[in-house]
Structure 1
Amino acid sequence: MTDGQLQQLVSQISLHDFKRPFRHRAYFNARLRTTGGRYQLESHNIDINPKMLTDFDEKTLVGVIKHELCHYHLHLTQRGYQHRDADFKRLLAQVGGSRYAPTPKKQTRLAYRYTYQCQRCGLVYHRKRRLDTQRYTCGRCRGPIKPV
């Protein structure tokens, strides 16, 4: 799904469920890590985590969009738009949005980036930082080490 398709989906959900138009931008933001979406108070734009589309089904994405649209419409009508407000809870239940977004799957990263091996005894070293192979030697046999 592209940003244009997301924009159309958000506009369609806004008109169908909220009976109000969505006049701002909706787009995917890959920098969102732990949240499903974000409503920006200053610009009134909506950011959606692309993992809501890739890791979950479309029903979850629609629930996140409805959640953010609740923030959007309540803020523009100057009513309680925060999670703790009764207006927000009431509107969210009315349109069937999700209260909490599911946690996206974590990407597994290696604990190390560089691998070195002793040329004499074969001992393997894993390091996060690059190692100066001219300066350091093997801790077991004092042999030369080379990147693998």
Structure 2
Amino acid sequence: MDEIHLQSLCEELSLSFFGKPFKHSARFNKRLRTTGGRYLLKTHDIEINPKYFEEQGLEAIKGIIKHELCHYHLHLEGKGYQHRDSDFRLLLKQVDAPRFCKPLTMVKKRRLELKHSYQCITCHHIFERKKRVDVSRYVCGRCKGKLKKIQL
């Protein structure tokens, strides 16, 4: 899906569910990480996270667009457009828009990449670290022996 199709989908959903036109622009924003989309108060534009389309498909995007259109129409009408407002919650129920989007499965906690290994000369305990350690300044936490860098 490209931005032209996204714009036409927003306009179509706005007319069919809200009975009002969507007169501003809708676009994809690759920088969005933790949210499915957002409504910009100053420009009245809607930004959508393209990862949701790639992973969850068109139905998830329609739900996100309906959610953002609730913010859009309520803000333009001067009503409560924030998540905590009763006007917003009521409109979400009327148009069957989700209050929250499902989390992405691609976004997982990345495993710690261990790049540096050190061994105590005295007790032979191995320490693995992400960042480099100054062996002249630090000692073993178990026995206070000197450390040496090893290659695994």
TM-score band w.r.t. shorter chain? 0.7 to 0.9
For normalisation by structure 2, the TM-score amounts to 0.73
For normalisation by structure 1, the TM-score amounts to 0.75
Length, aligned pairs only = 145
Question: Counterpart of 2:56 in 1: which secondary structure?
Answer: coil
1:34 and 1:64 map into 2 onto residues whose CA distance is: 13
* Aligned-partner residue type, residue 11 of structure 1: E
**Are the structure 2 counterparts of residues 127 and 6 from structure 1 closer, same or farther at C-alpha, using a change threshold of 3 Å?**
farther
Structure 2 counterparts to residues 85-124 of structure 1, below 5 A: 85-105=85-105, 106=107, 109=110, 111-112=112-113
**Structure 1 residue 104, shift from structure 2 partner:** 1.4
Structure 2 counterparts to residues 24-35 of structure 1, below 5 A: 24-35=24-35
2:114 and 2:16 map into 1 onto residues whose CA distance is: 49
Q: Structure 2: 5+ residue runs without aligned partners?
A: 117-127, 133-152
**Are the structure 2 counterparts of residues 127 and 2 from structure 1 closer, same or farther at C-alpha, using a change threshold of 3 Å?**
farther
* Identical aligned residues as a percent: 49
Question: Counterpart of 1:55 in 2: which secondary structure?
Answer: helix
2:114 and 2:108 map into 1 onto residues whose CA distance is: 15
Q: Structure 1: 5+ residue runs without aligned partners?
A: 116-125, 131-148
1:49 and 1:62 map into 2 onto residues whose CA distance is: 12
For residue 136 of structure 2, what is the aligned residue in structure 1? none
Question: Counterpart of 1:4 in 2: which secondary structure?
Answer: helix
1:18 and 1:104 map into 2 onto residues whose CA distance is: 28
1:107 and 1:24 map into 2 onto residues whose CA distance is: 34
Structure 1 stretches of 4+ moved >4 Å: 107-110, 126-130
2:16 and 2:110 map into 1 onto residues whose CA distance is: 41
**Are the structure 2 counterparts of residues 100 and 128 from structure 1 closer, same or farther at C-alpha, using a change threshold of 3 Å?**
same
